[in-house]
Amino acid sequence: MASFTLHGIPVSRGIAIGRAHLLAPAALDVKHYLVSEEQVEAEVQRLQKAIATVHRELQTIWNELPKDSPAELGAFIDVHALILSDPMIAEVPLDIIRSRHYNAEWALVTQIDELSAQFDEIEDAYLRERKSDIQQVGERVLKVLTGTASPLPQTDSEETAGRMIVVAHDISPADMLQFKDRAFGGFVTDLGGQNSHTAIVARSLDIPAAVGMYNASALIQQDDWVVIDGDAGVVIVDPAPNVLEQYRERQARLLRDRKKLSKLRKTPAVTRDGTAITLLANIELPEDCPPALEAGAMGVGLFRSEFLFMGRTGPAHKLPSEDEQFESYRKAVTAMKGRPVTIRTLDIGADKPLDTVEHTALNPALGLRAIRFCLAEPQMFLAQLRAILRASAYGPIKLLIPMLAHAFEIDQSLAMVEQAKAQLRDAGKKFDPLIQVGAMIEIPAAALTLPLFVKRMDFLSIGTNDLIQYTLAIDRADHEVAHLYNPLHPAVIYLLASTIATASKSGVPVSVCGEMAGDTKLTRLLLGMGLREFSMHPTQLLAVKQEILNSDLNEIAPHMKKILKTMEPAAIAAAVEQLRSI
Ligand code: PEP
Ligand code: MG
């Protein structure tokens, strides 16, 4: 067969080379027949039993989750369990069997099709993607009903498993878990965007992957040789021998680079001209601290505390109590062994909704998000502030407030911190009275009124992910406008450079904790703007450190004028590229 190339969305980096293993296509194509009046109750029971079996399956997967698996995996299984318990799946198909006498499979598929059609109507891209969760749950039940075997190959040796490329229309996060143990090489799916569950899991598992390939699962055949270029989102099927050779070399080079990088773990991050740079880690849960230390992080620059509040099980998805939060924050600061931990207060809303809050916002990215939500829920906010303050008695903690734009929001937030301190004093509880409080600069209005912030805050952290989203007016979770998301847009460059310059002039420490900080293509640009503190996912830290070790601020400086003066995107891109080669 002739070689061909497919283009999709890159979600997880690296090169994977192996033979395709096709997951059984969506099993929604089922037998349709009518059951007699006497058979109806037996058919109802058959479906109920299948649903109960899937409940047990999910529970087993949950119980057997490896300790080190990413937090999202447990949350995904919870979502599937919730869907399975919802009357829309657990009851409506039973009514269809009773009223229309459909066989169990037909009744279930009818209802799933109906729900899928309703999801297609939803405008919110994140919610629309959740359609696949319902279909995955439906497929699980159908597999039990029809007795279809597990999609995993039964006899795979260690060696072949590592080279297995999973190709599927879509993969449920629960199924992903089974592959995790088998060390598969990468995966390709027809569906999914940057923000789909499979993309999130792939990134956290560090496996090369490409999603949104439209019809890859129809075009690729079982055992075809496949190359995934995870950096480009390209899949090459049955590559010519010379192409395969090139990718093998690239893959080997990447592996060698990784090994080499690990030697830099203890090397101080200092530029060639002798400027020390602070490299920090972004974490979601306290369990992420050991890998952060392992990567040589000098502290935590961003603890996204909202992950403690999301995907919770139990009665009414109760939010974590002050004590539970305190334990998590204390665990993090203890694990970091004296290095500072910057805890960001709850940044809930937009694409990180709380299970307990009804979602009615017309445009959640512009709605009651982050600090806006916290100021509207003072009791909940105070409980979090007290928990963070109490943990500050156990090690250096800094408090970071997200999404501030108005002076009164800063003042109210600081007043709440003082109120939480007073409550702890009254209760005789210990905390660091001099705890530093900082602001995320991630709304253009904040970047444009920085004197308000430097006057009031101890430090600043630039959230480039949101700063780009709000400057360019594009939803960062929407794949339809993903091509407009550009960190090098002159407006973004202007806001970033002026924020770093103003903060530095005022003597207020400033860091970048958005994705730009972990992108080695932008390291020198940020150094040239005067940035001295970078916070990123631990897996990116050593590559950024290497870039810093090879950089000389005196050589970067003469190039910066051109970048900061021009409005021409092509000139900026060329100048940034040139920076990389000096
Ligand atoms: C950011 O906006 O850049 C950021 C670091 O925060 P988050 O990605 O959690 O919104
Ligand atoms: Mg943000």
**The domain spanning residue 115 has which CATH number?**
1.10.274.10
User: In angstroms, rounded to a whole number, what is the distance separating the alpha carbons of residues 264 and 243?
Assistant: 32
DSSP-derived 3-state class of residue 151: coil
Which of 94, 123, 146 is the last residue before a domain boundary? 146
**Do 133 and 179 sit in the same domain of this protein?**
no
Residue 282 lies in a domain: no
Q: What is the DSSP letter of 69?
A: S
Residue 232 lies in a domain: yes
Q: Confirm or reject: Cβ of 487 under 6 Å from ligand 1.
A: no
Q: Confirm or reject: Cβ of 512 under 6 Å from ligand 1.
A: no
**Do 115 and 183 sit in the same domain of this protein?**
no
Q: Which of 442, 460, 476 to mutate to test the pocket of ligand 1 (most atoms within 8 A of CB)?
A: 442
Ligand 1 atom index nearest CA of 463: 3
CA of 371 to the centre of ligand 1 (A): 13
Residue 11 lies in a domain: yes
**Do 141 and 174 sit in the same domain of this protein?**
no
Q: For the whole prediction, is pTM greater than 0.95?
A: no
Which residue's C-alpha comes closest to atom 3 of ligand 1? 463
Q: Confirm or reject: Cβ of 304 under 6 Å from ligand 1.
A: yes
Please identify which residue in the block is written with the tokens 């080669």: 581
- What residues are neighbours of ligand 2 (ion), with CB under 5 Å? 442, 463, 466
- Residue 386, by phi and psi: left (phi above 0), alpha (psi -120 to 50) or beta? alpha
Provide the pairing of β-strand 225-229 with 209-211.
unpaired
CA of 349 to the centre of ligand 1 (A): 12
Q: Are 356 and 314 in contact (CB under 8 A)?
A: no
CA of 345 to the centre of ligand 1 (A): 12
Q: Per the structure, how many domains does the chain have?
A: 2
Residue 486 lies in a domain: no
pLDDT in tens, 305-349: 988 887 665 544 578 999 999 999 999 999 999 999 999 999 987
CA of 544 to the centre of ligand 2 (A): 21
**Confidence at residue 545, expressed as pLDDT on a 0 to 100 scale:** 97
Q: Which of 126, 200, 304 to mutate to test the pocket of ligand 1 (most atoms within 8 A of CB)?
A: 304
**Confidence at residue 149, expressed as pLDDT on a 0 to 100 scale:** 38
**Do 46 and 131 sit in the same domain of this protein?**
yes
User: In angstroms, rounded to a whole number, what is the distance separating the alpha carbons of residues 544 and 54?
Assistant: 44
Q: Confirm or reject: Cβ of 518 under 6 Å from ligand 1.
A: no
Lateral strand order in the sheet of 209-211: 4-7, 234-237, 225-229, 15-22, 164-168, 186-189, 209-211, 9-12
Q: Confirm or reject: Cβ of 438 under 6 Å from ligand 1.
A: no
Q: Confirm or reject: Cβ of 233 under 6 Å from ligand 1.
A: no
Rg (Cα) of the chain, in Å, rounded?
Answer: 26
Total Cβ atoms within 10 A of residue 365? 20
User: In angstroms, rounded to a whole number, what is the distance separating the alpha carbons of residues 385 and 399?
Assistant: 9
| 265-304 b/e (C-beta count within 10 Å ≥ 16 → b) | eeeebebeeeeebbbbbbbbbbbbbebbbebbbbbbbbbb
**Do 70 and 136 sit in the same domain of this protein?**
yes
Structure tokens at 310: 């999301």
Residue type, 32: H
**Do 138 and 48 sit in the same domain of this protein?**
yes
| 22-55 b/e (C-beta count within 10 Å ≥ 16 → b) | bbeebbeeeeeeebeeeebeebbebbeebbeebb
CA of 13 to the centre of ligand 1 (A): 20
Q: Which of 347, 469, 474 to mutate to test the pocket of ligand 1 (most atoms within 8 A of CB)?
A: 347
Q: Confirm or reject: Cβ of 334 under 6 Å from ligand 1.
A: no
Q: Confirm or reject: Cβ of 464 under 6 Å from ligand 1.
A: yes
Q: Confirm or reject: Cβ of 197 under 6 Å from ligand 1.
A: no
Q: Which of 285, 352, 470, 513 to mutate to test the pocket of ligand 1 (most atoms within 8 A of CB)?
A: 513
Ligand 1 atom index nearest CA of 302: 5
- Residue 214, by phi and psi: left (phi above 0), alpha (psi -120 to 50) or beta? left
pLDDT in tens, 502-541: 999 999 999 999 989 988 999 999 999 999 999 998 888 9
CA of 343 to the centre of ligand 1 (A): 13
Residue 310 lies in a domain: no
Residue 284 lies in a domain: no
**Confidence at residue 311, expressed as pLDDT on a 0 to 100 scale:** 62
Q: Confirm or reject: Cβ of 514 under 6 Å from ligand 1.
A: yes
CA of 467 to the centre of ligand 2 (A): 8
Q: Confirm or reject: Cβ of 347 under 6 Å from ligand 1.
A: yes
Residue type, 425: R
Q: Confirm or reject: Cβ of 463 under 6 Å from ligand 1.
A: yes
User: Percent helix, strand, coil in the chain (nearest 5)?
Assistant: 55, 15, 30
Question: Which residues are known to be catalytic?
Answer: 197, 513
Please identify which residue in the block is written with the tokens 């075997």: 149
pLDDT in tens, 111-161: 888 888 888 777 777 777 778 788 888 888 988 887 753 444 433 444 444
Which of 118, 146, 174 is the last residue before a domain boundary? 146
Domain limits for position 57: 37-146
**The domain spanning residue 175 has which CATH number?**
3.50.30.10
User: In angstroms, rounded to a whole number, what is the distance separating the alpha carbons of residues 471 and 448?
Assistant: 11
**Do 68 and 166 sit in the same domain of this protein?**
no
Which residue's C-alpha comes closest to atom 1 of ligand 1? 463
Provide the pairing of β-strand 436-441 with 459-462.
parallel
**Confidence at residue 430, expressed as pLDDT on a 0 to 100 scale:** 98
Residue 328 lies in a domain: no
Q: Are 309 and 351 in contact (CB under 8 A)?
A: no
User: In angstroms, rounded to a whole number, what is the distance separating the alpha carbons of residues 388 and 398?
Assistant: 9
Ligand 1 atom index nearest CA of 306: 9
CA of 514 to the centre of ligand 1 (A): 5
Which of 121, 146, 171 is the last residue before a domain boundary? 146
- Can you spell out the DSSP letters for 359-424? ---SSGGGSS-HHHHHHHSHHHHHHHHHHHHHHGGGS-EEEEE-S--SHHHHHHHHHHHHHHHHHH
**Do 66 and 116 sit in the same domain of this protein?**
yes
Residue 460 lies in a domain: no
Which residue's C-alpha comes closest to atom 8 of ligand 1? 465
**Do 134 and 55 sit in the same domain of this protein?**
yes
End-to-end CA separation in angstroms for the chain: 44
CA of 373 to the centre of ligand 1 (A): 16
**Do 63 and 124 sit in the same domain of this protein?**
yes
**Do 168 and 231 sit in the same domain of this protein?**
yes
Total Cβ atoms within 10 A of residue 442? 26
**Do 61 and 209 sit in the same domain of this protein?**
no
Q: Report residues of the chain scoring pLDDT below 50.
A: 26-27, 149-161, 195, 315-316
